[in-house]
Structure formats: structure tokens, C-alpha cells
Chains A and B, each alone.
Chain A
Amino acid sequence: MHHFIDRRANPKGKSLGNRQRFLERARESIKERVDRSVRDKSIKDGGGIPAEGEKVTIPSRGLKEPRFHHSSKGGRRRHVLPGNKEFVVGDTLKRPQGGAGEGGKQASEDGDGADEFSFTLTRDEYLEILFDGLELPDLVEKATVETETIGTRRAGLTTAGTPNNLNLVRTMRNSLGRRIALQRPSVRSIAELQAEIEELEALPERSKKQESDLEDLRHRLEVLERKRRVVGYIDPLDLRYDTHVPEKIRNSRAVVFCLMDVSGSMQEREKDLAKRFFLLLHLFLTRSYEHTELVFVRHTHHAQEVDEETFFYARETGGTIVSTALEKMKEIVAERYPPDEWNIYGAQASDGENFGNDSARCKALLLEDLLPVCQYYAYVEIVDENAEMLLNNPEAGEDLWQNYRQVKAQAPHFEMQRVSQPSHIYPIFREFFLPKAKGAQNAGG
């Protein structure tokens, strides 16, 4: 009774429950590391989170499984070792660091001695922990758009329909039931009668009784044949058709506009910070929506839509007119992203310098054209590395900052923050998307 069983098709990940329990237990440490890793993440190599997941190392504190075991130090022990080459009895050896032989090995059993614990979070787990507790404040519901049918749904059976929808099984079942109930003569019973008739007809001479039998048989055959004609094999009554009804499926899509100032004043450092921000936003929205598109707009004194590569890596020089980017966004929305079908997000990064009185125009564009169609709009201003004063005082600032402050006063779904270092990005991102206080939510709705 030996046998082989192929278990490869069985679900793997039997230990998923254990893994979730483990992640839950180590959640705080993991969160801390994940937050740090996104802060430190170099974006030179494309940033982002690799598809195969993210390696994290957390302190093994709290993950230890203590057991009673002997200390590796002290006492009298005897170790048997293989491979003696030149020792004779009585030779002495210096005590190795950390105990000798098996004593040392025992002490490091199960985490003791190792202070760190490394493993790999899947991409999903990483993102979940990264965005744990963040949400798009009361915007998701309002923005879920119902678009027209893509598919159909089965909706039971009907008695009318087109031949290609005929449900053969149901039809035949009805037909059989009806034939049994109405006692439709079978082919066999008719054949038997016919055989008997033929037998009698074949006789050279028939007796009187045989004559009458023949008559009788012919009559019965006629009755059966008539009944067969009346009770059809398949009757229109039997027919059943599958029906399908068109279905409206809820389908939400999002587009994220990344607007970046690439004028001469935006150096590598500034662009790096901006990209970190866009990256987080993109990851976050990808998790919230089925379909997310990105539109990259960069601007100097004129704006243009570009691909990702150009957006992040190409360099331009020139003056700065911020409103050109906003104009461009307005234009693209009008062309390709009808607000009743798309969730529209805006993210803008700039060093805050702007031409002349263009900032007032930006304010007008935002308030009149963009904010009414946007779910959320975030502005990040990248300031000098040691601009403590600006960071601590939201009231201080250039023309653009001042105008945006006025925008914020009127639009609850507009947020603005200043950053000067990579480590600022994630905290301000969290701030943007933390669940808003109740009052603010009401104001927004």
C-alpha cells in the first residue's frame, strides 16, 4: 500500500496565518524600519519598491522565545572534538572567546546572541505597513463613478429567447418530464406493433381470429402514431433560455498630476525631494484605486507634458512661471479626464520662486478651475537646507506661498507643506493623508 501523491497543486502559503501573526507581533518595529527605509531610500536607482519585496531588519527584541538553558560560561565541561593532529594529554589551549565548542553553540540557540532579525516583506505587506492608517479623507465615496456596463450577469432562465441561448439541459429535462407524464409512445412499442402486423400480413392464409387481431393491431398502431404526432418529442412548452442582464459595475479611476518646477533654481537636491514625494503619492493612490494614471508636467517659464524619464532626469534652465503648469493641467483635464469619470489629484512641487505677479494668477487658476474638479491637491515647497526660520513659521514666505495660503483658507482639500530634507517627506506625506478631524471633514463635505 505505497503511494505517491502530487501535492504541488495544493495551495502554498499554508503558513500565511503564522506570517500574519508574526508581522502583527513585530508590527511596531517593522513600521519603524519601513518608515526609515522610505526616508533613506535612494531614488537614483529608480526608487520605488522592488516587485519581490523589501528586506527589513528589525531588532529581535520582543521576538525572542526564551527557554531555560545552560549558560555558556562557568562550570566544568568536557568537549569531544574531531581532528586532533598533534595534541597529547596534558596540552593546554587558550580559551576561545565566547565559550568553547558546543557550549558556545547552545547559548546562541534561538535568537539569543543575535540582536537583529532579517526577513523580506512582500511588496504588498510593505505598502500596507507604509500607508497604515492613511486615507483619502471622505473623497473616495464621492468620487466613485459608475460607468456603463462592461459585462453581463446571468439572470436565470426564461421561456423566450434566441436559439444560441437555448439551455439544452433544462429543455431536455422538461421535455422528458412531459413525455413521461403524457405517455408518449416509445419507438420500441411502435416497432413491436409493426413487427406483429408484418408477421400476420406475411401469413399466406389468415384465420378469422387472426384477421380481427390484425385489424385490432392496425387500429392500435394508428392510435399510437397519432399520439406520437400530438405529443411531440420537444414541445415549445419545454424550451428554456438562459438570460443575461447587463450590469453596471462600479469602476473608479484616478489620475495623478505631478507638476514640477524644473527651472534653473531646482537643482538635483530639490528634484530628489520632489520625486520622493511624487513616488509616495503614486504608491498610495495605486493601492486605493484600481486604475491609476500619472501625468507628468514640468515647467520653467513654459510648461510641457513629458514622460516619466524626462520628468525626473532631464534638466532645463530658464525663468519660472508657475501658472503655465496649472494651465497645462487644466487643459489636459479638459481633454482627457472628464471629472465625472476620474478622481483627479494634483501634486505640485516647487522651490517657491515665481515670476512677477504670476502667483496671483496661480491662486485664481486653483480656486476657479482646478480645485473644483480635484479630489485633493497637495503643494510641497522645497526650501533651503538650513531654512529653519521658514520651516517653523508658516506665515513667512514668498509671494507664491502667500497666495497659496489664501487658497488653503478657502479650500479644505488643498494642503501645503514645506520640506528641506529627505527625512521630512514621509512625515508630511502622512500629515497630508491622516484621517482628518471630524470638523474638517464636515467642512469638506
Chain B
Amino acid sequence: MQAGDTVATPMFTGPEWTFQLLEVARDAIEEIALNDLGLDVYPNQIEIISAEQMLDAYSCVGLPLMYQHWSFGKHFARDEALYRTGRQGLAYEIVINSNPCISYNMEENTMAMQTLVMAHAAFGHNHFFKNNYLFQQWTDAAGIHDYLAFAKNYISACEERYGLSAVEEILDAAHALQSQGVFRYGRPPKPTTEELAAMQKVREGYESAQSVLDIWTDATLGQDKLEQIKDEPYSARRKLMNLPQENLLYFLEKHSPVLDPWQCEILRIVRMLAQYLYPQKQTKVMNEGCATFVHYYIINKLFEQGRLTEGAYMEMMHSHTNVVLQPEYDDPRYSGINPYALGFAMMQDIRRICENPTDEDREWFPDFAGDPDWRRVMRDAWANYRDESFIQQFLSPHLIRKFKLFTLADDADQSHLVVSQIHNRSGYRSVRRDLAHSYDLAYLEPDIQVTDADLKGDRELKLTHTVRDGIHLSEEDRDEVLKHLRRLWGYDVSLEAVDAGG
């Protein structure tokens, strides 16, 4: 410590937190987050909740307002049992992609943990939500609370009107198709004016179901009456119904011959939430990496400034170390790659490449190796990538060596697994590509599309599963999901597996 430095006093000394201390810590964190790191965040709303409330929040996919369904109760029951018997801790925080950005902190946390959690969630995640392109393009942070409130009320109104079991049946079926309820590549076709009006009426309950149904079907299905296409009915149909369609929930909502408008609206709700959560599934490594990098930077800065006691700093570092632990493949604790570990290591590595590049780094990352403004490089990365492209772009040979990554090729035709690449010069690019690939949801989730449905004919809904690398669907679940699909479609449903060729 140099004589000229003003030595700040620690913000807190004991483990107990108070609202006053929280505010002091928040201000200190904010100072570093905004003025040093240059983060750009939504206003923060930090809510202190009890362990029970944390369990509640857990079971509803972390959303503050959620419609009711038995599966949330099931998750609650299981999480609670695990928590009560000490086999699973609770997350220290939950943060919601909304404006203002809501984060939940648990009352059981010590003051040191509250500080860490605020830096992590209220600034790290918050910045990521606000700036990453996927969230910007696909989610409406300002509108989500209103939409959730609408969804909750709508579904409870349906329960009152049509009965719990009727609603449960639709929700069960819709949940089964949730992963197939998102648009991966393009925006949904805009609803027509008639559809918008019809939806509005359904929501407000002004119109009787039947008249709305007429508008609905006329708008979406009735046009081919006029066109009278006889020679090429198949291609005309496909055009009219936007086939092939990857978003099964969207297709059912628009074209199912048997669903009532309220049932379509429920499908829509499930679909909208799936879409809202989809960017989170695509950015686990980046989002956690960003939040972890931010909290790590901030607590170190606070400690340097003398605003943390050594004890508090040690407690935070202990927790940080646990979070970014990456057991090796032969460790009994190994359960895949830890997104916190990988994300944090990559962010630290980007900073290193900017500040102390090696020749190898200059060769691999000519764009930013040695860039004096690592903060800007980092912010650009957070804003413009998702896990797959981020790893493909930024995973360095240095890190591949550090993690000692290797690729195991698993071909069902062979009796053994083969080590196909390791962390050496000839393996870096392949290992990086293979790892990036394993975060590509389009590859992880089955590619199932509606390919045809002849509403004038046998009305069979034809789905096609494009099989890549010889990987088929798990059969038992497939048959269960198809039952749900039949319920929503009302007629036969077939699923054909087509090899992608290769």
C-alpha cells in the first residue's frame, strides 16, 4: 500500500447483513461495474426472500409469476425433499431477464455472499441479458411481467370455466412439445389482422367460442377454397400452411382441426414462454461466464480498494472456487463440462490474450491479441455470440491444454470408443469444433418438422424426423409424446425418420 493511497475502510466486518449494508455494497459494486468495466444494465430490483420462497421460485422455472400446473408441484416436491435432507443446496440467487431486472437473494446468505451475489446477478447477468443479441432480438424484457400475468390469469380463468382436468390435458400435451415450440431460425409469420382481432376477442372473452372459431379458420385455412388449386394440391398446401414447419406448437395452434380457441391460446402461452427461455438455453456458458467474470473482477477490485475484510474476501473466493470447479472425466464428481468453469476460464483467457499475448495467441487471434482495451473486446464477445459460436471463435489452444480436452469418438458400430483428438497442435481445431458443436441446440435437440397435413383428405399429420449421425429418438418417450400430439391434432399422426444422408 503506497503512502498516497486513501485506504478505504471495509464496508462490513461481520457476517450479518442489513439493508443499509446492502446499499453500501451495491453502490460500491455499481461504481466498478459501470465506470470501470463499462457495463450497461437494466435498473435493478433486488428482492430478499426466504429459503421457502426460493424453493417456490425454483419450481416455476425461476419466473416470478407462473400459471399453475402439477409438474411445477412435482419439481417443488423433489427439490424440497432434496433440500430438506441436505442432498442439494439452494442457488444463492435467481435472476430474471426483465426490465427492471429482478434478482432474488436469499436471506440465509452472509453479507459477503450477498455482495458476491449482487455483483454476479444484478450486474453480470443483468448486463448479459440487456446486451446479448439473442435476448435483444427474441425477448421482450419490459413486457414479460405483463405477459406472465396475462398467462396466469388466462389459464386460471380457463380452469374455472372448463375444469382443471381439461386444462391439465392441454398443458401436459403442450409441455411435451415445448422443445419443438420455438422458432430457431426465423421470426414467426406475422399474424394476419383477422387473427389478431380474433385473438383479442378470445382473450377478452367478448365473443362466443364458435364465432371466433369461424374467423380463425377462415383466415387461416379458408383461402384455398378461392384458389381452387387442383393440379398441385400438395405444394399449394405446403405453401399455405408454411410447411415444412419446425415449430410444432405454432402449427397446431394455427391448424389443428379439433382445438377450441382457448386451447389454442394455451398452446400459444406455452410456446411464447418456450421462446422466451430459448436464448437462455443457447447461452449457458456465456451467461454464467459473464456473471462469474464480473463478480470475480469486482470482488478483487473491492478487496484492492480495502473495502472488503480479508475474511469476507476469503469466503467469496472459497465460494467462487467451488463454482468454477471442473472435475476431470475420470473423477467421480464429473458430470459433463461445467458451464461456469468453461465460461469463466474463456473470459479470463480473453483478457489474458489482450494483455499478455503469446505468439500462438497472435497467430490464432490476430483481431484482438494485444488489444489494449480488453473491456471492449469482452463486451463485444458478450453481445454478439451464443455458446456455439463463442467457443468456435474464442477457445484458445492455451485453454484446450489447460483443460486437457480430448475428443472421444463413439460409433455404435465399433466395439470400442476411440480417442480421436487430443490437446496437441493437430487437434486444437477439431477439439474446438467438436466442443462448439456440442452446444449447438439445433444438433442437440431432435430435428422434427411437420411436413404435411391434408385437411381436405385423411387429415393425417405427417412429421419427419431428420436423423443425423444415425442417432434416433428415444422410443418410449417418442410414443408418449405422439399420444399427446394425437390429442392436440385429433387425427392420426405419423412420424417418419429420414436419414440426413451421411
Contact = CB atoms under 8 A, between A and B. Distances in A.
Judge: A and B partners, yes or no: yes
Interface residues of A, number: 68
Interface stretch (B48-56, B210-218, B303-311): B48-56
B47 interface: yes
A78 to B, nearest CB: 5
Contact of A78 (B80, B104, B407): B407
A79 B409 CA distance: 7
B328 A19 contact: no
A77 interface: yes
A89 B420 contact: yes
B176 A1 contact: no
Given A18-B59, A80-B434, A83-B329, A103 B474 contact: no
A330 B256 CA distance: 72
Contact of A90 (B418, B435, B444): B418
Query: Most chain-A CB neighbours within 10 Å: which of B180, B327, B416?
Result: B416
A232 to B, nearest CB: 52
A4 B410 contact: no
Contacts of A313: none
B70 A4 contact: no
Interface string B74-85: 101110110010
A70 B50 contact: no
A112 B474 CA distance: 10
Contacts of B175: 65
Nearest to A117: B78
B469 A76 contact: yes
Given A2-B44, A13-B56, A68-B446, A22 B411 contact: no
A55 interface: yes
Interface in B463-481: 469-478, 480-481
Interface stretch (A94-102, A241-249, A261-269): A94-102
Interface in A72-131: 72-85, 87-95, 100-103, 105-107, 112, 117-120
B419 interface: yes
Contacts of A23: 73
Interface in A382-409: none
Contact of B336 (A64, A89, A95, A101): A101
B336 A102 contact: yes
A83 B336 CA distance: 12
Contacts of A8: 48-50, 53, 107
A6 interface: yes
Contacts of B444: 70, 106
A19 B75 CA distance: 9
Given A21-B68, A82-B329, A105 B84 contact: no
Contacts of B421: 89
Given A68-B446, A84-B423, A92-B418, A12 B405 contact: no
Interface in B113-135: 122
Contact of A18 (B68, B178, B330): B68
A75 B472 contact: yes
Contacts of A63: 74
A77 B419 contact: no
A107 B474 contact: yes
Interface in A52-71: 55, 63-71
Nearest to B409: A78
Given A119-B78, A120-B84, A70 B405 contact: no
A20 B70 CA distance: 8
A84 B60 contact: no
Contact of A21 (B53, B164, B330, B469): B164
B408 A78 contact: yes
Contacts of A15: 55-56, 59-60, 72-73, 76
B416 to A, nearest CB: 4
B73 A22 contact: yes
Given A73-B412, A91-B419, A95-B417, A22 B77 contact: yes
Nearest to A18: B73
Given A66-B478, A69-B445, A76-B409, 18 more contacts: A5-B45, A12-B52, A13-B52, A15-B59, A18-B73, A21-B164, A21-B168, A68-B179, A74-B471, A78-B409, A79-B438, A81-B406, A82-B328, A89-B421, A93-B416, A105-B335, A106-B444, A120-B84
9 contacts: A12-B52, A22-B74, A70-B471, A75-B471, A77-B471, A83-B328, A87-B422, A89-B420, A94-B416
Top 9 A-B residue pairs of the complex, sorted by shortest distance between their CB atoms? A83-B328, A22-B73, A18-B73, A75-B471, A66-B480, A119-B77, A75-B470, A21-B70, A12-B52
Interface of B: 19, 22-23, 26, 30, 43-50, 52-53, 55-57, 59-60, 68-74, 76-78, 80-81, 84, 100, 104, 107, 122, 164, 168, 172, 175-180, 326-331, 334-337, 403-412, 415-423, 426-427, 431, 434-435, 437-438, 444-446, 448, 469-478, 480-481, 484
